[in-house]
């Protein structure tokens, strides 16, 4: 019973945080793409902060089962962009950047809420709210750093592709059909450990940044 109650508490905190993080991430892609001339995401109803527009059913199930998930990718049509290679880099970077900003804001709010300063009668509210901000720091850092990995189809691969000379970018893009296999191997070979360490350092730095 205790484990069940703890599990319910955990998901009551984590799922809303994950939904917000994923929604902000995809909204950032859609917003910048629209600003740069591509209306595709807006016309498909993706230029919104409504989580339902971005949810991927399997990604949501993954949050429950493995405590990590994803949303539907925002469609981008490079033909609308004035400078396609540069603009694609900016659009790709917008998602991780938005998560880092959200992580920094969450770290600030986490540090601003005292554990017991409001009195014992408010502990029931302070504890879950503070836990939610702590989870928001970690989840947003994880999403930002993970998406910056230079593995197709992650945002990092779009950034790398835009920075490479065209011929090398075309060769690099051929890795995309094998992207999920590469990610799987990273997780289960131990090669992902340094990335996890980076996530931990960034999370701690954001919290400590506010004093």
Question: Which residues carry out catalysis?
Answer: 26
How far apart (Å, rounded) are the C-alpha atoms in residues 114 and 130?
9
| Secondary structure (3-state) at 118 | coil
Query: Distance (Å, rounded) from C-alpha 38 to C-alpha 173?
Result: 21
Rounded CA separation 146/129 (Å): 25
Spell out a b/e string for 39-60, using b for 16 or more CB atoms within 10 Å of the CB, else e: ebbeeeebbbeebebbbeeebb
Residue 139's contacts (CB-CB under 8 Å, 6 or more residues apart) are 14, 17, 18, 21
Cα–Cα distances in angstroms (integers) from residue 116 to residues 100, 151, 205, in the given order: 28, 44, 24
The whole-angstrom separation of Cα 160 and Cα 110 is: 34
Q: Are 145 and 198 in contact (CB under 8 A)?
A: yes
């Amino acid at each position: 019973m205790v484990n069940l109650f703890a599990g319910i508490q955990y998901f009551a905190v984590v799922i809303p945080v994950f939904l917000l993080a994923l929604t902000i991430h995809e909204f950032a892609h859609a917003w910048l793409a629209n600003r740069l001339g591509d209306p595709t995401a807006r016309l498909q109803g993706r230029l919104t902060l409504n989580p339902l527009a971005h949810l991927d059913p399997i990604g949501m199930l993954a949050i429950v089962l493995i405590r990590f998930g994803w949303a539907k990718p925002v469609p981008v049509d490079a033909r609308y962009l004035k400078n396609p290679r540069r603009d694609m880099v900016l659009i790709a970077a917008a998602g991780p950047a938005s998560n880092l900003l959200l992580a920094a804001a969450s770290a600030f709010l986490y540090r601003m809420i005292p554990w017991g300063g409001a009195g014992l009668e408010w502990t029931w509210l302070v504890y879950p709210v503070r836990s939610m901000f702590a989870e928001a720091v970690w989840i947003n850092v994880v999403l930002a750093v993970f998406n910056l990995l230079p593995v197709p189809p992650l945002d990092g691969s779009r950034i790398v592709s835009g920075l490479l000379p065209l011929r090398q970018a075309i060769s690099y893009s051929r890795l995309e059909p094998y992207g999920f296999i590469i990610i799987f191997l990273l997780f289960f070979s131990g090669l992902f450990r340094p990335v996890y360490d980076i996530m931990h350092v960034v999370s701690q730095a954001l919290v400590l940044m506010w004093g």
